[in-house]
Amino acid sequence: MAGSVQPAAAAPGTPATLEVRGLTKEYRRGTPVLRGISLVFPDRGITAVIGPSGTGKSTLIRCINRLVEPTAGAILFHGADMARLSGRALREHRRRIGMVFQEYNLVERLTVMENVLSGRLGYLSSWQAFLRRYPPQDIAMAWELLDTVGLAQYANRRADALSGGQRQRVGIARAVMQQPDILLADEPTSSLDPKTSVEIMELLAGITDTRHIPVIVNIHNVPLAKRFASHVIGMAGGAIVYNGPPGGLTDDHLNQIYGGEDWQE
Ligand SMILES: Nc1ncnc2c1ncn2[C@@H]1O[C@H](COP(=O)(O)OP(=O)(O)OP(=O)(O)O)[C@@H](O)[C@H]1O
Ligand SMILES: [Mg+2]
């Protein structure tokens, strides 16, 4: 493994926010998509996960919050193994993991405000959730976040009336409403134009800086990854082939990650 720089955790003896050990995923038995990945994710900044299509980046992110069941290995979130949690304990850990999607995953017929508020659903009792009865402090937090992402004036618009960039801002505000300890983003800019992509990465960079939480981003755009990430994980064939700062990522690494095709300028 090249340059295995592992930025320090918060304090000695304190577990990293997120670590995976020997993480393996087989959708079909005998065909591993993730091949025993072990990684300590940095506690701060944007970590970009790059790698060719089909190499398991989404699978990695989805295993972390158990949208996908890992086949083997541990996912240590604040030291607790997500892979072994169930029921209430799983729900309580999962709500501290914010998730941002390529296709936004908004409820199209609901308003922007309702979509953002839904980030709190994991904190409501079942009757409150059923009635969608959010406490006033949740509503105040939603207004604050809508302001942060520049969408306060769109609060009562339906989600399906927004542009892609605006939708992604709603998706990010919804994830931050969870008051997450970590934010996972699976190709948050792949459906967006280059300028909007930069704006979304700036927003994610602002979140990691002001909220002091790690942000892990699957991203295909290597220049964008290098510009915004403080750490890069390069995957190929379901394994880690680079784990270090963006400055250490050479053309040789990129050839190893993406194959030695003449795709580079
Ligand atoms: N639900 C599933 N059932 C079966 N196979 C799956 C499933 N999800 C993903 N795979 C397979 O696992 C492999 C890794 O897929 P994954 O989506 O994690 O890759 P990726 O690196 O995110 O790719 P992309 O860059 O195209 O998003 C692929 O071969 C894919 O076909
Ligand atoms: Mg993917």
Which band of pLDDT confidence, cut at 50, 70 and 90, is reported for residue 262?
Answer: low
* Per-residue DSSP letter, 15: P
In this predicted model, what pLDDT tens digit does every residue of 219-260 receive, in sequence order? 999 999 999 999 999 999 999 999 999 999 999 999 999 987
Beta carbon of 259 within 6 Å of any ligand 1 atom: no
In this predicted model, what pLDDT tens digit does every residue of 58-100 receive, in sequence order? 999 999 999 999 999 999 999 999 999 999 999 999 999 999 9
State the Cα–Cα distance between residues 248 and 35, nearest whole angstrom: 24
CA angle 188, 193, 198 (to 5 degrees): 60
Give pLDDT, residue 265: 57
Ligand 2 centroid to residue 50 C-alpha, Å:
10
In this predicted model, what pLDDT tens digit does every residue of 113-125 receive, in sequence order? 999 999 999 999 8
Q: Whose Cα sits closest to atom 2 in ligand 1?
A: 27
Work out which ligand 1 atom sits closest to the CA atom of 235: 21
On whether the pTM is more than 0.75, the answer is yes
- Domain boundaries, given as residue ranges, for the chain: 1-96+180-260, 103-179
Beta carbon of 210 within 6 Å of any ligand 1 atom: no
Burial 119-134 (b: 16+ CB within 10 A, else e): bbbebbeeeeeeeeeb
Q: Whose Cα sits closest to atom 3 in ligand 1?
A: 27
Superfamily of domain 1-96+180-260: P-loop containing nucleotide triphosphate hydrolases (3.40.50.300)
Q: Which ligand minimizes its atom distance to the CA of 60?
A: 1
Residue with the bigger pLDDT between 132 and 32: it is 32
At residue 200, does pLDDT exceed 80? yes
State the Cα–Cα distance between residues 86 and 94, nearest whole angstrom: 10
Give pLDDT, residue 50: 97
At residue 11, does pLDDT exceed 90? no
Positive/negative CA dihedral, 160, 165, 169, 175: positive
Ligand 2 centroid to residue 67 C-alpha, Å:
13
HEC profile for 78-112? Answer: CCEEHHHCCHHHHHHHHCCEEEECCCCCCCCCCEH
Q: Whose Cα sits closest to atom 29 in ligand 1?
A: 54
Beta carbon of 59 within 6 Å of any ligand 1 atom: yes
Nearest to 245 by CA among 256, 258, 234, 232: 232
Share of the chain above pLDDT 90, in %: 88
Beta carbon of 233 within 6 Å of any ligand 1 atom: no
CA angle 71, 63, 47 (to 5 degrees): 135
Ligand 2 centroid to residue 161 C-alpha, Å:
26
Tell me the average pLDDT of the chain. Answer: 92
Ligand 2 centroid to residue 35 C-alpha, Å:
16
Ligand 1 centroid to residue 238 C-alpha, Å:
10
